[in-house]
Amino acid sequence: MHYSQEREREDKEENCIYGIRAVIEAIKAGKEIDKILLQRGLANDLFGQLRKELVGKEIPYQFVPPEKLRRVSSANHQGVIAYLANVTYYKTEELLQSVFEKGKIPFVLILDRVTDVRNFGAIARSAECAGVDFIIIPSRGAAQINADAVKTSAGALHRIPVCREDKLKEIIEYLKSSGLKIFACHEKTEQTVYSVDYSGPLAVIMGSEENGISGEYLKRSDAQIKIPMAGNISSLNVSVATGIVLFEILRSRTATS
């Protein structure tokens, strides 16, 4: 094995828990878990206990072949590896209530399936600098908030709260019922980010570079906005696009305050 591969394995192992019993106890203890890898075909009583512990908990998990687990670690993992989270996850309802109680105008960022950890870290850094109150991500299909994400965020992920939600559609509806206007940013619309009133409570949805924003979330948005482009390339990196939108909102709010 080359040095770079050894280093990669060490990084992966640093925040991992191995073995069915160890993972069960971590869940019972309330440890923040980013995701769990489960070996395909596992079927025994202890594994059944683990599955029961996962019921009703917003902990992402996926079934993978044995080769995937071996690439992560050579330890005796018994077919189960859990990644501990580098941040504490919050609930949207609690944070939004706190923002209102402080007399602030809510400014929320929703990320739909942004999976690249460095993009996520860069977005978190921009969000913290732009005054975003908190970030919402889905329980599945989101970037793992690992050491790379925290480093890329320049520590912002230790300052800006992140909510991990299992039912994003319901969360968007909750935000709307709480008085927030939902803006969805994508290129297939006419209204630009520079022609909108951002003075009220709001949430902005940004989608993945590969698939954009889910149609279910677009339908639930109150307004759709785009970043005007002058060049021949039709899209921006999601972290760059998010930064442009967030700082336009900050500029607009600062100008009218």
pLDDT digits (tens, 9 = 90+) for 183-198: 999 999 999 999 999 9
DSSP symbol at 156: G
Residue-wise pLDDT for 156-170, tens only, equals 999 999 999 989 999
Give percent of the chain with pLDDT exceeding 70. 94
According to DSSP, the residues that pair with 62 across neighbouring strands are 37
CATH class of 3-84: alpha beta
Mean pLDDT on 111-137: 97
Give percent of the chain with pLDDT exceeding 90. 74
CATH of domain 89-256: 3.40.1280.10
pLDDT band at 8 (very low <50, low <70, confident <90, very high): very low
* Nearest alpha carbon to residue 53 among 83, 72, 33: 33
Dist CA 211 CA 65 (whole Å) = 26
Q: pTM, whole model, 2 decimals?
A: 0.86
C-alpha distances in Å from residue 111, one per residue of 27, 54, 62, 136, 213: 26, 24, 21, 6, 9
17 C-beta neighbours (distance < 10 Å), count:
19
pLDDT band at 5 (very low <50, low <70, confident <90, very high): very low
Dist CA 61 CA 257 (whole Å) = 45
Does 176 have pLDDT greater than 90? yes
- The full set of domain ranges for the chain reads 3-84, 89-256
Please tell me which residue, 2 or 232, carries the higher pLDDT value.
232
| Cβ proximity of 157 and 145 under 8 Å | yes
Residue-wise pLDDT for 149-158, tens only, equals 999 999 999 9
Dist CA 1 CA 115 (whole Å) = 28
